[in-house]
Structure 1
Amino acid sequence: MEFDAVLLPPRREHSVARGWWPERTINDALDAALAAWPDKVALTAVSTATGQTTSLTYAALADAAERLALGLLRRGVGRGDVVACQLPNGWPFAVTYLACARIGAVLNPLMHIFRERELSFMLRHGEAKVFLVPKQFRGFDHAAMARALQRELAALRHVIVVGEAATQESFDAVLMAGEPAATDAERAQMQASRARPDDVMQLMYTSGTTGEPKGVMHSANTTFSNIEAYAQRMRLGRDDVILMGSPLAHQTGFMYGLMMPIVLGASAVMLDVWDPATAVGLIQAHGVTFTMASTPFLADLTKAVAASGETVPSLRAFLCAGAPIPGPVVEKARKVLGAKIVSAWGMTENGAVTLTRLDDDDARASTTDGCPLPGVELRVVDAQDRDLPTGETGRLLVRSCSNFGGYLKRAQWNGTDEAGWFDTGDMAWLDATGYVRIAGRSKDVIIRGGENIPVVEIEALLYRHPAIETVAIVAYPDERLGERACAVVVPRPGQSVDLPALTGFLASHKVARQYWPERLEVREALPTTPTGKIQKFKLREMLQTGE
């Protein structure tokens, strides 16, 4: 397949000259780790359904990658072919990615929640030749769905099933295709096909909350430039143990739970279904030093540790991304876990862009979304692309060494000007020290009678209300003012919330009346992505339809 990653060539010379693009691939990282620490545990994967734990050394991981690569090669998969996978966190996912890199194939990770509607579009658009799925995951028959989809997709040659041993298209059968051993011709072909630093190595679809999903293309250079700067900011190295409970099919899990440990020669611990009690046990058993997830994961882990009386002394830092972290969550987590809480902001298109620093005051994590990593520049502009003064909210533009190569077959949507500035679609403001605060997606901004409501700040304040567990503020249409604000609230167990109590709380904190929500919806739960980010577009739909 031909990839139109048109955003990569114009910035190659500059990025290499500045040292931002390291000219390395995951093959180079795995080969280096294998040579230096063959017997070191590379990853430990836990299945919550079976309770099974699988550990692979770097030697075993490299061997499995080579064998799966050969199995794929013998099934006609080669350089530039797309291999899609809908696998949960675990060693088969890791081996699949590494095998693709061995033969120059492109991995297309797909979230396990996707069903026929989303998958039929993504698999067809990406021209996937292979689709790897679990036989079953969380009670759903992925194998049956994948085979039904295969009948409709001309490009999809193979459906490979993990956990099914009876067919030639099972994962085990493909993995064991390394016997007999590779011929000289096959070894030469694999060596020649290996992914290069500027090749598209990952195709990852955005959530598609408005219109069709977009296929984000990344190379080794764009991802490595981000991972190395991120690891340096977090002071991570080969002695660290990294826990990943966020899905590997999301950029958070893929870059920092799968790629980063190999880049560092560190160890990864992968959890397929988030369970805070299990996470506590894994941190203790494996000496986990770092993890990254969204705010609900942090709140869950804090609650589990507090309730159990256990401690997690090895955990040095918990990085939160996906949405601003409420101050009370940071304060409680810092006290209970003892770990530094770091806030970050990023996108599928560029990985993590801004992070707070480990030496920052704890309040930075709840009042900002960090400052740029090396190789990253930020601008906040108005509707005419004019730079705004410090403290004023506008559109956030990013120019970064980790920016993506473009949207597959949709270059007209790349949102990047000739100077390399990418329009993130987020609203934000910068403080005097260069730290950024995300004010929400541009479509999430509420404009009441011409006045912008500072949604993020009001939400952060409401998280301090003793009866509120979770809150999101979204717009609903109003004939006179255009929009008004509605607070959608999940109360704490045993508590209740009404609108007078909510507005009275804001009044006691001297919040301007124009910023008060004028409607309250109480729910048992809010719709979220698999990584825990609240889906405000669904809340807006609920308000409009009266559901």
Structure 2
Amino acid sequence: MVKQYDLENQTLFLDNLKKVDPGKEAIVDLSLSSAIELNYGEMENLANRMAQGLIDKGIKQGEFVAYILPNWWEFVVATLAIWKVGATACPILPALRDHEVSFIMKKSKSKILIFPEEYRNYQYEPMVDRIAAELPCLESKVVIKSRDPHDLQHCLGGLASSVPDLEEINRRSPNSETNAQLLFTSGTTGEPKGVVQTHGSLSFAVEAHRKALRLTEEDTIWVPSPIAHQTGFLYGMIVAFNLGAKQVVQAKWSVETARLAIEEHGSTFVQAAMPFLADISRDANPPKGLKIFVATGAAVPRQLAYDATAALECKVVGGWGSTETCLVSVNSPFSNDERVWGTDGQVIEGMEMKITDDEGNEVAPGVEGMYRVKTPAMFKTYLGHHDWYEDSIDENGFFITGDLATMDEDGYLNITGRVKDIVNRGGEKIPVVEIENLLYQHENIKDVAIVGMPDPRLGERICAYVTLKEQMDFSLEDITSYLDSKNVAKIYWPEHLELIDELPRTITGKVQKYVLRQMITEKLQVKS
């Protein structure tokens, strides 16, 4: 029998921040040549000042505040400031461009957009200026230029320049029912879904996570995953808040920066996609000091987990979660059962999961079926599409994940495939239908289907099968340059092209993507 939880009485992770010693180290930012370090008192002061800046900009309780920021100290402080004014955080991945940013801004109706002047040699202000005419709700753009947290007049885009009205800020404090987060997840309908989570649901998620993995305030949380993605946001930043622990944020991926995070700044816990684990464990001199690495996005291959455990001298386990449900299953780092390596974990206390047939009846252990989950960390709605939310929840309150899975007699989960057609590239879900719809607009393309092709490091890469309107020279560059012209983020571009006379289809005309996946898999096996 699963215990019933009352989220109204759930201790909020923001309340835990009030108990932390102001002198304790809170953030280490490794984005510059010298680390930027803030203690909890400094973080709180900056967040209060920025909260006042948001109030001065007219931000009201319940509104969405959009921001495009890498894993910088500014992301952490901005998120706290947004919550302090009773608004909802709407982070946007820095890799996204005109097409995706415009969509998110329109859906969220954010009156403000906060972004860096430059990141990874990309200038953001020209992009914002290009799409501004399409955004009637946008009133303010805030450009972050100064990275110095002690430069109160200019850091945080000038939003920290005002002395805060703490009485007004305290009046706006969120409760368990207040919306905390709006994240857009790739969908199969051709439109990304805006997932809304509350402070209560996220607080339950991280507290259940703490208990399952036995994390404490003495741990240091390493955050190499993008904080604008649920893995970094919830299981990096918010986990640190909930514990009152230090977090080490890493914006640009490199093993050497990872070594600094682990060996110099004492990181002990990380939750990230498999490529991060592969890179640090296969380095000639693997960094030492981590205690637990939770690899999400795909089950950890047994050999990689075995090798990584030895190389890093830490516990390596897998788990399953989603933006809608947070983490539902995880393997125990304290178990010696070898299934902790080759599976997606066991259910976390207070949550439920089951495998069913199409009608919702549970199947026997080991039988593949539809994977469904139920958790107090469930999302509230899909923004603007509550009907999608209702369609995703069955009559017993279980979320229909769209994944196929098996579960053994001891409750170990194995995700075996996806009903929804999404390519899983290193934990990043690629919006297949959206990209296909854009490619269908190409003047030379008659038919197109995008599938995942096996990759030893990322799990899958993006493969485009294309039928041309007429015989001609056509290359992968023709596709990528076209998507570039449409301002589609590079992470969504196909990485391999296969020209084909006709796409395999069912009698009803549906593309048989499993055939295409099998074709590219066999082709790669022959080459290897």
Same fold (TM over 0.5): yes
**1:222-237 aligned within 5 A:** 222-237=201-216
Cα pair 1:216 1:348 within 8 Å, conserved: yes
Q: What SS does the aligned partner of 1:520 have?
A: helix
Q: Which amino acid aligns with 1:280?
A: R
Cα pair 1:150 1:159 within 8 Å, conserved: no
Aligned partner (choices 23, 32, 56) of residue 19 of structure 2? 32
Q: Which amino acid aligns with 1:104?
A: G
1:169–1:55: structure 2 CA closer, same or farther, 3 Å change rule? closer
**Aligned-pair CA distance for 1:281:** 2.3
Cα pair 1:486 1:521 within 8 Å, conserved: no
Q: What SS does the aligned partner of 1:439 have?
A: strand
Corresponding position of 1:484: 515
Separation in 2, partners of 1:470, 1:105: 35
Cα pair 2:298 2:459 within 8 Å, conserved: no
Runs of 4+ in structure 1 deviating by more than 6 angstroms, as ranges, are 473-476, 521-524
Corresponding position of 2:60: 78
**Aligned-pair CA distance for 1:52:** 3.2
Residue 83 of structure 2 is aligned to residue 101 of structure 1: yes
Separation in 2, partners of 1:421, 1:400: 8
Cα pair 2:146 2:155 within 8 Å, conserved: yes
Q: What SS does the aligned partner of 1:154 have?
A: coil
Q: Which amino acid aligns with 2:333?
A: L
Q: Which amino acid aligns with 1:341?
A: V
Residue 94 of structure 2 is aligned to residue 119 of structure 1: no
1:285–1:59: structure 2 CA closer, same or farther, 3 Å change rule? same
Q: What SS does the aligned partner of 1:177 have?
A: coil
Aligned partner (choices 120, 136, 142) of residue 154 of structure 1? 136
Q: What SS does the aligned partner of 1:218 have?
A: strand
Corresponding position of 2:308: 333
**Aligned-pair CA distance for 1:191:** 2.0
Separation in 1, partners of 2:215, 2:416: 29
Q: Which amino acid aligns with 1:235?
A: R
1:29–1:128: structure 2 CA closer, same or farther, 3 Å change rule? same
1:271–1:279: structure 2 CA closer, same or farther, 3 Å change rule? same
Cα pair 2:204 2:377 within 8 Å, conserved: yes
Corresponding position of 1:440: 417
**Aligned-pair CA distance for 1:479:** 6.0
**Aligned-pair CA distance for 1:521:** 7.5
Separation in 2, partners of 1:488, 1:272: 37
Identity of aligned residues (%): 31
Separation in 2, partners of 1:63, 1:311: 34
Separation in 2, partners of 1:248, 1:373: 23
Corresponding position of 1:520: 524
The runs of 5 or more residues in structure 1 that have no matched partner are 1-12, 447-461, 490-516, 525-547
Separation in 1, partners of 2:41, 2:87: 22
Q: Which amino acid aligns with 1:41?
A: E
Indicate the RMSD between aligned Cα atoms, in angstroms.
Answer: 2.8
Corresponding position of 1:350: 325
Q: What SS does the aligned partner of 2:215 have?
A: coil
Counting matched residue pairs gives 447
**Aligned-pair CA distance for 1:287:** 1.5
Aligned partner (choices 95, 110, 115) of residue 133 of structure 1? 115
Normalization by structure 2: what TM-score? 0.79
**Aligned-pair CA distance for 1:487:** 5.9
Separation in 1, partners of 2:363, 2:130: 52
Q: What SS does the aligned partner of 2:160 have?
A: helix
Aligned partner (choices 153, 176, 179) of residue 200 of structure 1? 179
Corresponding position of 1:46: 30
Normalization by structure 1: what TM-score? 0.76
Deviations 1:143-192 (A, max 9, x none): 22123323321111111111159xx99654533332xx34xxx4433222
Corresponding position of 1:15: 5
Structure 1 range deviating more: 343-352 or 362-371? 362-371
Separation in 1, partners of 2:459, 2:222: 27
Q: Which amino acid aligns with 2:346?
A: C
**1:387-426 aligned within 5 A:** 387-414=362-389, 415-426=392-403
Q: Which amino acid aligns with 1:484?
A: V
1:334–1:21: structure 2 CA closer, same or farther, 3 Å change rule? farther
Corresponding position of 1:322: 297
**Aligned-pair CA distance for 1:417:** 2.8
Residue 242 of structure 2 is aligned to residue 263 of structure 1: yes
Corresponding position of 2:158: 174
Q: What SS does the aligned partner of 1:151 have?
A: helix
**Aligned-pair CA distance for 1:221:** 0.9
Structure 1 range deviating more: 474-483 or 74-83? 474-483
1:281–1:367: structure 2 CA closer, same or farther, 3 Å change rule? same
Cα pair 1:26 1:101 within 8 Å, conserved: no
Separation in 2, partners of 1:522, 1:437: 28
Q: What SS does the aligned partner of 2:366 have?
A: coil
Cα pair 2:350 2:375 within 8 Å, conserved: yes
Separation in 2, partners of 1:29, 1:348: 23
Cα pair 1:164 1:171 within 8 Å, conserved: yes
Deviations 1:103-155 (A, max 9, x none): 10111011111111111111111111111111111111112212332332111
Corresponding position of 2:192: 213
1:14–1:365: structure 2 CA closer, same or farther, 3 Å change rule? closer
Separation in 2, partners of 1:137, 1:405: 33
1:77–1:444: structure 2 CA closer, same or farther, 3 Å change rule? closer
Separation in 1, partners of 2:146, 2:204: 38
